[in-house]
Amino acid sequence: MPGSISPLPLDLSTLQIPWYFRCPISLELMRDPVTVCTGQTYDRASIESWVATGNTTCPVTRAPLSDFTLIPNHTLRRLIQEWCVANRSFGIERIPTPKQPAEPDHVRILLAQAGSGGGDVASRAAAVRRLRALARESEKNRVVMATRETRLALLDIAFEGSGSGLDSDLESESMAVLAIVGLGESEAEADLAARSDRLNRLGEILMQSLSLEARINAGAVVEVCAAASSTARSALGETDGIIHGLVKLIEEKSNSRAVRIGIRGVFALCLSKENRARAVEAGAARAVVRKLGEVETERGAAAIELMCRVEGGREALIIGAGGGPEAVAALVKAMGVGRAAEHAAGALVAIVSSSDSLQIEAVKAGAMGQLLLMVQGGFSDRAKRKAQVLLKLLRSAWPSHDAVSNSDGFLLQTF
């Protein structure tokens, strides 16, 4: 937790922590004491962990927890803070006052203020901005906000002007909140993907909006919707402007967030086979490979691998001045980035399989060292199989590059 301090030990030389300041579960000084329905008080993190592991009884009394509501014990927290201050000479720091999760009633009030009956556009947008701030503040707030009621209300606010062609802060801010809170499968399918007016509006914003922030927020909504439902992925991919708009985000030169959202959106859409050819046609393969390694390397490499599996995907990466060597170099570099290695190797198999010159380029770029690490290291069996296939493809290129001449004997032993 940012700004937090390490838990205090039970005994600090001459100082003893009062027993009633200790959490009965962790036996450590409570930082955020909360009381459960049995009247017992615990540190919030400890009792939440207790419940999350499937326990349904009070740890002290063993009585069933009929209600899992956690009530902040403000009086005890203030006493603990005062004790910390009084004993600061022993090196004890005052525990910070924890921010409490958003109240559902507060969220409903803000949604009502942001709705069509909430007043002028400026005041409605201000209410949505407060919702966005709450969602960004903590995971607990996002859990409180991730209800069907909230999602439907945000969808209505975000798309109430569909067809008007006008950008607005209200629309953009609402989409930003939706992207943070997420969409369930039912909302993604019935309340967005099944609404052609809403789909068309997303495409319109992504392609035509003069506001980069609005385009980024629309792209983020595309991603969360595509991630929630395969049906939604298909509908999004078929809509004019959506894939091309995501490619425009990837091609932004000075905004890493735009690039990140664009890559995430393309990857989510490419999880459906029918969208891969559309993405290739929109120029997504070349756009992603040019930004590979800057942001979202794992998803970027995965998207490239998926696009290489469809007709024209490989060709889209290697056609053009310097296209093939550039793509190969970027993918070899991506093999050194954690879980991106498997997808980069898979994409390289498709790209170099029928090109001796690109196999040589892969060896020159350092593919052999990365592949050896994959074969010997702690990668999945699937990743190792892809690495072995690529090693076999590159075998004929080894003599063409001195950097691997001393490794030939060892490499041949891997097959």
Between the ranges 180-184, 335-339, 396-400, where is the mean pLDDT highest? 180-184
Tens digit of pLDDT for each residue in 247-280? 999 999 889 999 999 999 999 999 999 999 999 9
- pLDDT averaged over every residue in the chain: 86
Tens digit of pLDDT for each residue in 103-156? 889 999 999 999 887 778 888 989 999 999 999 988 888 988 999 999 999 999
Q: How confident is the model at residue 211 (pLDDT cuts 50, 70, 90)?
A: very high
The pTM of the full predicted model, rounded to 2 decimals, is 0.76
Q: Give mean pLDDT, residues 25-45.
A: 93
Tens digit of pLDDT for each residue in 307-319? 999 988 888 888 7
- Which has the higher per-residue pLDDT, 414 or 371? 371
Q: Which of 166, 229, 140, 232 is nearest to 195 (CA)?
A: 232
The residue type of 217 is N
pLDDT-above-70 percentage for the chain: 90
- Both tokens of residue 229? 């439902």
Spatial distance between the Cα atoms of 222 and 199, rounded to a whole number of angstroms: 9
- What are the C-alpha distances in Å from 27 to residues 6, 19, 20, 54, 87? 14, 8, 10, 21, 19
- Which has the higher per-residue pLDDT, 256 or 411? 256
